Amino acid sequence: MTTLAALTIHEAHDGLTSKKFSSRELTSACLAAIQEKNAQLNAYVHVQERGALAAAAKADAMIAAGREDIGPLRGVPAALKDVFSTAGAPTTACSNILKNFIPPYDATAVSRLKKAGMVLLGKTNTDEFTCGASTETSAFGTSKNPADPTRTPGGSSGGSAVAVGADMCIYALGTDTGGSIRQPASFCGVTGLKVTYGRVSRFGVISMASSLDTIGPMCKDVTDVAIVMNEIAGMDSFDSTTPDVAVPDYLEALKEIDVRGIKIGLPREYFIPGMDPQVEACVQAAVKELQKKGAIVREVSLPNTPYALAVYYIICPSEVSANMARYDGIRYGAGTNSSRDLFSYYTKTRGAGFGPEMKRRIMIGTYCLSAGYYDAYYKKAQQVRTLVKRDFDEAFKEVDVLIAPVAPTPAFKIGAHANDPVQMYLEDVFTVSINIAGVPALAVPCGASRGGLPIGMQIIGPQFGEDLLLKVGRAYELAHA
Amino acid sequence: MQLTREEVLHIASLARIELTEDEMIKYQEELSNILEYVGMLQKVDTAGIEPISQITDLTNRTRPDELLRAPLAAPDSLLACSRLFDASSHEILVPPVFE
């Protein structure tokens, strides 16, 4: 008998409401999976066994009382990337500078999920302050890919991807600033949604790059993504970057799946020499399956794609340097005992508390924003950003969605890019444009390499078009079943 | 694009990060390589192109300065997050700004 931890949200909900099993049993199965696998895979950095079982008991009481309003997330165990503030529980961004930080309030996404009945199992591993594409820069050690533990799970939401992919939870949340949901989802064979910028509130989520950050679900299938989105999406008065745009019922969008006449664009700049041919083959095969169901496929061009990585690696570190300025050892987090004046208190605290990748990003950002360089770097990058966004606007006049690979290769070996930061940045080549343009993209597993390493594709749409992405993703799941 | 040692020291000082000598040498090379890569944007013609900083067309959103709901956290629970908070004097004690 397979473990209950392998269920999806909708399967768990059916089982709970038809009394096949309790939330306590479901939660215990997830905790057992964590006990069995976490020492090797290092997906979780904090586990909350008592809190989880208490939340499960509450859910079981509501179900036993025969309540009519048992929502789909009630009693279902989940994991949260360790940048989501969870009141009373450690939230560290996997950095030494926040090692002992315990927030006194929940992030909005967390409180919405708690209200919907989430059983919080614990917090998952991430690259330090979500800066990375492999989870290797975490102060708590890297996570390992369940398909091959000598390889990374991708990043920065590597811990969440492993927790979902290795059935150590039913669903998780991650964040995506330059690909950090989509790439680990692709490397671990799970489904992850990078939402339109502002679709989901970031209040209480530790910031990385404020004009690029998004938060979103990482799940076992498209239906589960829709269920979580129904709960977390929507304007929040605590996050003024969330526009007052209505949230559709994402499950309703999945009721009738018909892709006949849907126009799919394949951007030629995303199918290039140097990428692993197995990745291209899997994505092309997936597109063919949608074509057989009636979708119309054509090639499009996003001509400013070659500049997107440079745009990202100016804007992102610049905004990171601004967001990291608050870690001064005063209001929260670690600080030094060995300084006699304020200036050295700052420099020693930050020198000791930040890892090497953080220092690189902060310093690049500081340089790009400094007097004499601001126009040549940050302002220039913001102008090219306009060009990148226009490419997507033009493409969506011709097609409804784009389909592209998520990463140029499947999961790479741990340590592969240890000596060359720029090589690591190149892993983001297919993901960053989407963040720059603020559009949504759904990563869906679409095959595996000969060695069994998962490969994913991303379905990209216009701003606030998540329902269309979910429809196309579900159409692929059904065609491929 | 090669940063000088003085430039790296200046950036580290602006960023309020103390670097060891080994780090100084390492970052001088790494930062130079990264800046070399992103310098490719100088080739892009952006004449007349407006910079974007807000990708969904939002501008300053205001509301009346009124209390809408109870605070999410009591002020003392926020102060207690600081390692420098002295509960008895209700102060945050920092090292002196001046010597």
Residue B92 CA to residue B99 CA, distance in Å, equals 19
- What is the arithmetic mean of pLDDT over A370-378? 94
How distant is the Cα of A366 from the closest Cα of chain B, in angstroms?
6
- Interchain proximity A241–B56, CB inside 8 Å: yes
Spell out which residues of chain A touch residue B42, defining contact as CB-CB under 8 Å.
376, 380
Of the candidates A341, A354, A436, which has its C-beta nearest B17's C-beta?
A: A354
The string of pLDDT tens digits covering residues A310-348 is 999 999 999 999 999 999 999 999 999 888 899 999 999
What is the average pLDDT score of chain A?
Answer: 97
Nearest CA to CA, how far is B74 from chain A (Å)?
8
Please indicate whether, in this complex, the C-beta atoms of A359 and B17 are within 8 angstroms of each other: yes
Confidence of residue A1 (pLDDT cuts 50, 70, 90): low
Instruction: Tell me the two tokens of residue A306.
Output: 């070659």
> Confidence band (pLDDT; 50, 70, 90) for A385?
very high
Cα A205 → chain centroid: 13
Task: Indicate yes or no: CB of A422 within 8 angstroms of CB of B8.
Answer: no
Distance from C-alpha of A122 to C-alpha of A145, rounded to nearest angstrom: 19
Q: Specify whether A115 is catalytic.
A: no
Give B88 to chain A, closest Cα distance, Å.
Answer: 17
**Nearest CB to A331 within list B19, B81, B95:** B81
- Per the annotation, the verdict on A58 as an active-site residue is no
Is pLDDT above 70 for A19? yes
Residue A441 has pLDDT above 80, yes or no: yes
Token pair belonging to A223:
């239906």
Strands A191-194 and A441-448: antiparallel
Interface residue A373 vs chain B (CB under 8 A): no
Find, in chain A, the residue whose alpha carbon is nearest to that of B55.
A438
pLDDT tens digits along B28-82: 999 999 999 999 999 999 999 999 989 998 988 888 999 888 889 998 999 999 9
- Residues on chain A touching B18 (C-beta within 8 angstroms): 344, 347-348, 350-351
Q: How many CB atoms lie within 10 A of CB B51?
A: 14
Minimal Cα–Cα distance from B47 to chain A, Å? 9
User: Does the beta-carbon distance from B55 to A197 stay under 8 Å?
Assistant: yes
Do residues A236 and A373 make contact, with C-beta atoms less than 8 angstroms apart? Answer: no
Rounded to the nearest 10 degrees, what angle do helices A305-324 and A380-398 cross at?
A: 130
Which residues 47-86 on chain B approach chain A with CB closer than 8 angstroms?
49-56, 58, 61, 63, 68, 72-74, 77-78, 80-84
Is B56 close to A341, i.e. CB distance below 8 A?
A: no
Active-site entry in A95, A180, A186, A207? A180
* Pairwise CA distance, residues A251 & A56, whole Å: 25
A81 is catalytic: yes
Residue A366 near chain B (CB below 8 Å)? yes
> Which residues of chain B neighbour A321 with C-beta distances below 8 Å?
15
Dist CA A17 CA A470 (whole Å): 25
Query: Mutate which of A350, A354, A383, A463 to disrupt the B interface (most B C-beta within 10 Å)?
Result: A383
Query: Which residue of B33, B41, B51 is in closest CB contact with A310?
Result: B41
Q: Give just the sign of the alpha carbon dihedral B50, B54, B56, B62.
A: negative
State mean pLDDT over A179-191. Answer: 98
Residue A444 bridge partners (DSSP): A457
Number of inter-chain CB pairs under 8 A, A vs B: 176
CB contact under 8 A, B19 and A351: yes
The model's pLDDT over A29-82, given as tens digits with 9 standing for 90+, comes to 999 999 999 999 999 999 999 999 999 999 999 999 988 789 999 999 999 999
Span A147-152, mean pLDDT?
A: 98
Residue B99 scores a pLDDT above 80: no
Please identify which residue in the block is written with the tokens 């790479």.
A412
Q: Give the other-Cβ count within 10 Å of A60's Cβ.
A: 19
How far B89 CA lies from chain A's nearest CA (Å)?
Answer: 16
| ipTM score | 0.95
Of A394, A480, A438, whose CA–CA distance to A243 is shortest?
A: A438
- The verdict on a CB contact (< 8 Å) between B42 and A463 is no
Contact with chain B for residue A374, Cβ under 8 A: no
Could you read off the pLDDT of A244-290 as tens digits, one per residue?
A: 999 999 999 999 899 999 999 999 999 998 899 999 999 999 999 99
Neighbours of A374 (CB within 10 A): 14
Q: Which pair of structure tokens corresponds to residue B43?
A: 């080739």
